[in-house]
Every structure is written in structure tokens, then in C-alpha cells.
Amino acid sequence: MAVKFGVRLTTGVAATEVAALGRRAEELGFDYIGMIDSPLLAGRLADPYPYLTAIALDTQRIALGPAVSNVFNRHPVVTAAAIIGLERIAPGRVVLGLGTGDSALNTIGTGAAGKHQGQIERQRGTAEAVQQLRRLFAGEPVSFGGQPITLPQTLPLKVYIAATGPKILHLAGRIADGVIVQAGLHPTVLRSCIEQVHAGAREAGRDPAAVEIICSTACVYTGDRARDLDAARPLLGWFYAAAPQYLEMAGETVTQRRPDRQVFPDLGHALDWEEAIAACRFVSDSAVEKFCLVGSPDEWPARLQALHELGVHHFFMRHHLTFSEPVDVMEALGQRVIPYFR
């Protein structure tokens, strides 16, 4: 499977700007655009589906979809209707990314603070939503608790699941077309995550090689390595809190799990990124280097090639800033990295 490259765009700017960036991503050779779906996060983010529509109308080839829609704050019927509408605009190019992350839930009070969804319930909810949607797209009658729904034709829609922990990785391997692995770039960690996905696929009688492995890749490029390390620090702060076992697997010592102060609205999507950096001074430079892409883009192809050889099919580039667009990162990747793999 050839290496693919995706990029995350945001709904925090004008739709015309996002459409132009989508067109530029296609020109640069990107294969996929995923848009953040955390409605009204910090009062800034809009619904991604109109933005995806604007991109779809202004591009010809590139795949696109939400990265990711939450199975708890969007009813599957609502998600299905939105993604089917997008598929009608961009036939064969639409990918539905699903997840259960807290950023989308905290705004409505049902995230980590609300404790309304335990891990088992989240996994159950994800499995149920994916199975219902896959049956619906296959043209089978599906009831979501009301009247049965049957589409007039089958739809070739892929479903990706965002996953970090071993159990959700295993589940994703069982039921998803692709898995957005949110575990950083350390080879030992990624190998372990891929093994969980493949184990789930084998348990379900599926070919593990048919499950696309998408590596969520934190990528910071400012032209100043020291500045890059600082800018990426809050992204690693999330790992210290949510997945310290991966840091330890990579040879890091975790002595502090969380910042000493709260960051609004949350650490990975801070509105004031300088404040988030200051709150994450406990994150080591070596951890940032191991889990993120920083420094010179000329160093990145060899590193990504090694991860591709481990089983990563697709690198989904996540800029460190949630509320502005990744223009510098896109250009660096498109001009200095993607050509290496083509």
C-alpha cells in the first residue's frame, strides 16, 4: 500500500479560506483532508460539514471527511445524513471518521468532567454506531430506535475510528476500515498499537492488512527547532495525562501527569498556546522529539519511511494550533516530504 498523507484543517476561519487551503493541499499532493468536529469549542469552531462541502466543490481528487465526529454528541442518524450529503457532492471521496474524544463532549458537559461515559460505555457506543452505519451504507434496513431506514443504494463509504488505548485499538481492528492511531511516532509504541489493531482484525476473521493504519502525526514547523520543541510541548502534555504507558514504553520517565494549572478549553486545543506551553514545562524535549515531527522537514522522510515499514499506511498531519490553519506545515510537507514518497 502506497504511503498517503492527510492534513487536518479547522473551522475557525472563513470557509473561503478553508476551500482555498483544500485546493492547495490537493495541488501539493495530499491525499486526504480531515476537519475538526468539536462544535463551538472555545466558542470558535463551527460545524465542519459545510466547510467540507466548500472544499469538495473546489477540489477534484482529494478524499475528505470529519476527523472526527463524536458518536455521543451527534446521533448516528444526524452523522449519516451529513456524510451521505457530502458523498453526493464528492462521490467516492468521502471518509467518515468517528471517535469519542473529550474535546467535543466537554462543551456540552458530558466529557471527562461529566463522567457520563465510562470507557466500556464509550467502546460499546462506538461499536454500535459503526455497525449501524456500516449496515446502513451497505443498503441494509437499520433501526436507530425508531422507524427502520433503508437507503435506495449502497454507498462506498469508509469508516475510520480514532483510537489510543489497547481496547479501542482492538475494537477498531475488528470493525473499522481504518484506524487513526493517536499514539505518537515512537516505533516501539506504534508497533504495539498496530499489533492490537491486527489482533482485533484476526479475531473478527478479517485480513489485518486490509485495515488502513493512519498515524495521527503531530507536526510543528516554524524554522526554529527550539521554538518547535516548545510549540509541541502541550501536545505531549496530553500523553502524560492520558497515555503515560506509551511514554514509558519509549524510555521516558513520567513524574508529573498533569499541568499545575488549567488551560482553556483543554490542553490539546488551548486558545492561548503560549499559556499552554508555560503549563507544560514538565514535558521533556526528548519526549517531544520521540513523539512529534519537529525541526527540519529534510529529516522527516527517513523517519516516516521507517514507520511505513512498520505498517503505517497513512500519515495524518495535525498542526499544533487548533484555531488557525497549518499553512507552513502544509507547504513544508508538500514541497519537501511528499515528493520523496512519490
Question: Tens of pLDDT along 300-312?
Answer: 999 999 999 999 9
Q: Domains of the chain, with CATH numbers?
A: 4-226+294-341 (3.20.20.30)
Q: State the chain's mean pLDDT as an integer.
A: 94
The model's pLDDT over 102-115, given as tens digits with 9 standing for 90+, comes to: 788 788 887 654 34
User: For 239, left (φ over 0), alpha (ψ -120 to 50), or beta?
Assistant: alpha
Confidence (pLDDT) at 108: 82
The model's pLDDT over 168-227, given as tens digits with 9 standing for 90+, comes to: 999 999 999 999 999 999 999 999 999 999 999 999 999 999 999 999 999 999 899 999
Torsion of CA 44, 49, 50, 54, to 10 degrees: 110
Q: How far is CA 11 from CA 104, 110, 322, in A?
A: 14, 22, 9
Confidence (pLDDT) at 119: 79
pTM over 0.75: yes
Which residues on adjacent β-strands are paired with residue 217?
Answer: 317
Instruction: Give the residue-averaged pLDDT of 34-63.
Output: 96
Listed in order, strand segments (DSSP E) in 201-325 are: 212-219, 314-319
DSSP codes, 314-329 = EEEEEES-SSS--HHH
Instruction: Give the residue-averaged pLDDT of 57-61.
Output: 98
DSSP assignment, residue 250? T
Confidence (pLDDT) at 18: 96
* The three cell numbers locating residue 185: 511516532
281/242 Cα distance (integer angstroms): 17
* The three cell numbers locating residue 43: 466558542
The model's pLDDT over 81-104, given as tens digits with 9 standing for 90+, comes to: 999 999 999 999 999 999 998 788
